[in-house]
Amino acid sequence: MFSLWQDLRYAARTLGRARIKQKRTKSDGRTSTLAIRFHGRLSTNDMAKGSPNRIELLQGTLAMRILRTLLFGPAHGQEIAKPIQQTTVDVLQVEHGSLYPALHRLERKGWVVSKWEMAKDRKRELKYYRLTPSGKKQLAREESKWKQLAGAIARVMWPAEEG
């Protein structure tokens, strides 16, 4: 799973619009915190020289975050992006240029459905997205894969001391 770290560093260097921030613990020098913030839109053209796996990784995590947010009920675009940013203490930000193409991909796959509705407390319509039953199943699959990936990375980064 060391390749995930390499993929993220490569993506940051390739895009030139990312900041990588690391904090290290003083006692043993291991990385304790990693924050990568992408600025602007992430498109397939930005990573043309890279592997398609890098694009799928970034799109997949965004899809998982969107599905997870919609698990709590229907929401329009801003209502989806804001909780992601707030719960991650601004480490993960969802730009409109990434959010709406991701929502359209999820809709094409049948994982979300949308409907124009009159907004509460406003005098205009907004497009609300809802999670479908197949979207809930996909979220469960993605969460399982994410737990495996996070566990593998944790074992690489912080191996158990032998003895």
CA separation for the pair 68, 24 (Å, rounded): 30
What b/e sequence results for 128-157 when a residue is b if at least 16 CB atoms lie within 10 Å of its CB, and e otherwise? bbebbeebeebbeebeeeeeeeeeeeeeee
Looking at the predicted structure, is the pLDDT value of residue 132 above 90?
yes
**pLDDT per residue as tens digits for the range 2-29:** 455 555 555 555 544 445 454 545 555 5
Yes or no: say if 107 and 132 are a contact pair by the CB < 8 Å rule: no
Instruction: State how far the Cα of 59 lies from the Cα of 38, in Å rounded to an integer.
Output: 13
CA angle 104, 106, 107 (to 5 degrees): 60
Dump pLDDT digits (tens) for 78-97: 999 988 888 888 777 788 88
Cα torsion through 140, 141, 146, 147, rounded to 10: 70
- Distance, in Å, from the CA atom of 59 to the CA atom of 42, rounded to the nearest integer, reads 9
Q: What is the pLDDT of residue 38?
A: 44
d(CA 62, CA 51) in angstroms, rounded, equals: 18
Task: For tokens 């707030």, name the residue.
Answer: 86
pLDDT interval class at 48 (50, 70, 90): very low
